[in-house]
Structure formats: C-alpha cells, structure tokens
Structure 1
C-alpha cells in the first residue's frame, strides 16, 4: 500500500481535540445541533473514520425528517444594511427561514413508525403539533410564515491530513451514491501542510414541501395546514423510503472507505457495478448474468422451429452469447 505523508501538526491537534470531545459520556455530551449529540445511526461510521490515522469528522447528521416553522421575515421599510444586520443577528429569518423565531415542531433521525392500532391521520397531526383539520383558506397573507415538511439525507464533514486522504474519502463518497460530495480548503496544494475538508452529501435525496403557514393574529400565533391528511401520509411514506435509500448509501460508503480491501474495491470496475440502488458484489453479478444467459437460451430455443440442420450452429452461437454475458 502507498505510504501517506505524515499528518501536519495542525491536523493532529484538531483531531485530538475532537476525539476528546467525543469521549465525553453520552449523557454529558452536547453540540450545536438541534438534537445535541451524535446520531446513533452513524455512530459506527463516525467511530470507524476517527479510528483512521489521517481522518477525523468535524460535523455530521445521519439524515432527518422534520416539520419546521419559518421565522419572521422582512417587516416594514428598512434599509438593506439594517435588514442584513437583523438577519445576521437572528432577529429576522434568512432565506431558509431560520432565525427570527423559526423553530422545529418535529425532528426525527429515524423513519416515522405509525402504530397499526391508531388512527394514522390523528397520530401524524399530534406528532407534528398540527391542527386536526386543514384550513379552507389557502392564501398565505402578507408576512405569513411558511410551514415546511423536510427530508434531509446524511451530511458529513471529514477533515483529512493530506490531498491523498481527501481523494480516498471523496472517491468512496461518490461511488456510494453521495454524488454532490466535494473537497474544500484546497489552497496551497503544493504544501505538505494542506488539510482538505471533504463534505459527503447527496442533495438529490432531499425534499422540502410546504404544508401550511402561520400568522400572528392579535399577538397570538395560529398555524394553518393547507394539505389533506392523505397528502401528509404520502409525505411520511416518501420520507421513510428516502431513509432506506440513505441508509444503504451510508453502508456502502462505510464499506468502501473502511473495509480492509477498500483499495481493491475502489480500483475494480467489476465491484463498482450497480443495479438501481442495490450494490452488487462480483460473484453476485456473475451469477445473475449466467442466469440471464440461460433464460435467453431457453427463450430462443422455444421460439425456433425444430431444424436438425441448424441445431448445432444455433447451440454454438447461444453458448457464445452465454459466455459473453458471464
């Protein structure tokens, strides 16, 4: 295996600090995320990456489904400088709706499980802290605050000790399906002290749907849902499906990056073959192709009328096709 350059002192110090923070017992650990701790769904991945000599995670989210109420946006006639200052200070909501009193009504880092013995519509409304019935008024008045139902897939930031380590992480992320991944902090590429940051992400799985809005009438907040119960249930089902795909990609990324023979996997074209979202090992692919060849052989023989003179020639041709498919 190719020897990697020694990690710069700045990377070593940063990694030591992060590992010290993560070593705090779960009951005492807290970070800046809404949940305040490392998601259990990717704890094994995080531990594996941080056990690698040239890698350390700086932030992560395993993926989440949420209901988010935007904060207060622009009010009155204020200068752009004043508005920008208020957004930066959290007094007004920014483009994504955060700040200005915006808040999560519901957040989960796991699929939403609806018990069979309950009324699903009532369960969802109570879970999301929503009114029981949709409003008949679908026009959002001026200065209303939109209500979002969101699914966000895993996002992971990995600090690396060198360009070679960054390339290894990026290759694994792209092959696993995190197609919008990229490397940052590449300036000074000629320097041995370069420590790139790799963002592992898959924006294609994300979705954001407006399901209502909130108004402030006489100083009281009123939330109005503008979609049907069936629509809410459809969004929940879609989020659960995205969770499944997200978890499959996380597992592929972990295998490609941390498996002992990950370098062989990365350089083997056969190991990179995919069918839809399902990863295929070389042995599985060969067996599938062989079965396809046998099926096509039988279909061809069924369609062809008996012809003793051509049977031998057809058999040789089909044998060749079957071998090619293997």
Structure 2
C-alpha cells in the first residue's frame, strides 16, 4: 500500500508529457474523481479525436508523421479540406475514441473499473499486470475509423466522399461523448457503493451474538437447558460453525 502511494505521488508530480501540457476536458473530470481515491492513479488519457495526418510536410511532428488537423470535437468538411491542402505525402483521416489508463492498488479495484467500463460501452477495455505486480486498467473502445485520403500529395477520393467520412466521424464522436458520460456517472455510483473490506469486520461479533441468543432461547423453549446456563465449549464451537455456514450461504 505504501509503495503504491509513493508511485502515485511521483507520477502525479511529473509534468504533463502531452503536447498541450494539459488534460482534455472530459478526461480531466474523470482524473479528478479517480485521483481523489487512494486506490487509483490516472496514467494517460484522451477524450477522443478526429485527425488528419501526413507522412511529410510542415506541422506538429509525432512518430514520423505530421498532424494537419486535430480536434476533440465534431469537425466540418471545410476543416478537412483545408488540412489536405497542406499534404505532401500520404494523408490519413482518423477518428480515435476515448482512452484512459489507470493504475490500481489491487486487482479488485481494477475489476470495479473494468465492470463500469464494459457497462458503459467500452468493450475493448482490459486489465494488465506488469512487473512488480503493477496493475493497469485500460478503458478502450472499438468504434475507430481510419481512411487514407491522398498519396504523395494527390487527393485520391472525392469531396463528396470526404463529406460522408466527416458525417460518420461526427456520429462516432457523439457516441463517444455519450459513453464517456455514462462511464463518469457509473463510476461515481460504483465508487460511492464500494466499501473497504475492513469496515465489515465489526458486524461479525454482532452476528455471532445473535446466533448465541437464538440458540439459548430455543434450548429454553425445548426444556433442554436453563436460559441462564452458559454454553459448553462444544456448543460454542457448534455456534461458530452455524455462523460460518450462514456467512458462506
């Protein structure tokens, strides 16, 4: 537990490595919700985006390509056409859905997030356990879109087709936003309902005492023992077994 707390503090103290040096708007709310809990630490995220990338030309370089257009909101055909005017290589139009990576203290914490993610429509979500037992929960979806538009700077599709692509991407973006909202609301409810296991222990003696009293009353009614008589050690063991059976059921 202490090791996870140290790892979390170190990670949250690092500067944001993204090009805009800040979280996307929707991911920021989820990050605040999760990082406020000692069991979670957000690692990386993206709200979902529409991009046009090129293998050459001027612009923002990322992994041997240039971003001609980047937006986390629905886009317009005109934005894409303007971006394609700058293309000198192979331009690709993409829609990439929301993604969130969360470090979890225990496996049961990751399982809670995974359940909420699946119920919210993020069907490609998963849990990984790395070296040293580091547990990471990834919230991912499958409704991606990737279409090549130009080759060596030459547009290979019609403007009508680009308009159609933009319409499809915007539909996917709107669904992406709905899923994020469902995940956020579902996560709030799940975290409120989650109770640490150690808070359940005080209830066990109360349950044992209840079994003990019921057994004495039953014996008194049957004339097998005086209500004031204390249980023998063997009977006490039987009561414990009865309690265990009730808990198991």
Same fold, judged at TM 0.5 (above): yes
1:303-314, aligned counterparts within 5 Å? none
Taking the TM superposition and a 5 Å limit, the aligned residue runs for 1:156-195 are: 156-185=100-129, 194-195=133-134
- Give the aligned length: 191
1:230 aligns with 2:142: no
Task: Output aligned runs, 1:84-99, within 5 Å.
Answer: 99=63
How much does 1:32 deviate?
Answer: 3.2
Is the 8 Å Cα contact of residues 163 and 195 (structure 1) preserved in structure 2?
Answer: no
Where in structure 2 are the equivalents of 1:256-275 lying within 5 Å?
256-259=186-189, 263=193
Aligned counterpart for 1:201 among listed residues 127, 140, 152: 140
> What secondary structure sits across from 2:90 in the alignment?
strand
Aligned partners of 1:125 and 1:131 also within 8 Å: no
More off after superposition, 12-21 vs 46-55: 12-21
Structure 2 unaligned spans of 5+: 195-249
Whether 1:59 and 2:44 are equivalent positions in the alignment is yes
For residues 185 and 261 of structure 1, do their structure 2 counterparts lie closer, same or farther at Cα, with a shift above 3 Å needed? closer
Name the one with the larger helix percent.
Answer: 2
Determine the C-alpha separation between the residues in 1 that align with 2:192 and 2:186: 5
Tell me if 1:148 matches 2:148. no
Contact 1:159 1:196 in 2 (8 A): yes
Q: Identify the residue that residue 220 of structure 2 maps to in structure 1.
A: none
1:130 aligns with 2:85: yes
1:253 corresponds in structure 2 to 183
Structure 1 contact 69–145 (Cα < 8 Å) conserved: yes
The equivalent position to 1:108 in structure 2, one of 61, 67, 71, is 71
Tell me if the contact between 1:64 and 1:151 (Cα under 8 Å) persists in the aligned partners: yes
Distance 2:11 2:131 in 1: 23
Query: 1:166 & 1:186 partners in 2: Cα distance?
Result: 13
Deviation of the 1:179 alpha carbon: 0.6
- TM-score, normalised to structure 2, is 0.68
User: Distance in 1 between the 2:190 and 2:146 partners?
Assistant: 38
The answer for the alignment partner of 1:33 in structure 2 is: 18
Q: Does 1:210 align with 2:203?
A: no
- CA deviation profile, 1:232-264 (whole Å, cap 9, x unmatched): 111111111111111111111112222267649
Stretches of structure 1 that go unaligned for 5 or more consecutive residues are 1-7, 22-29, 73-97, 115-119, 133-143, 189-193, 215-222, 265-326
Could you tell me how far apart the structure 2 residues matched to 1:103 and 1:111 are?
20
CA distance in 1, matches of 2:190, 2:118: 19
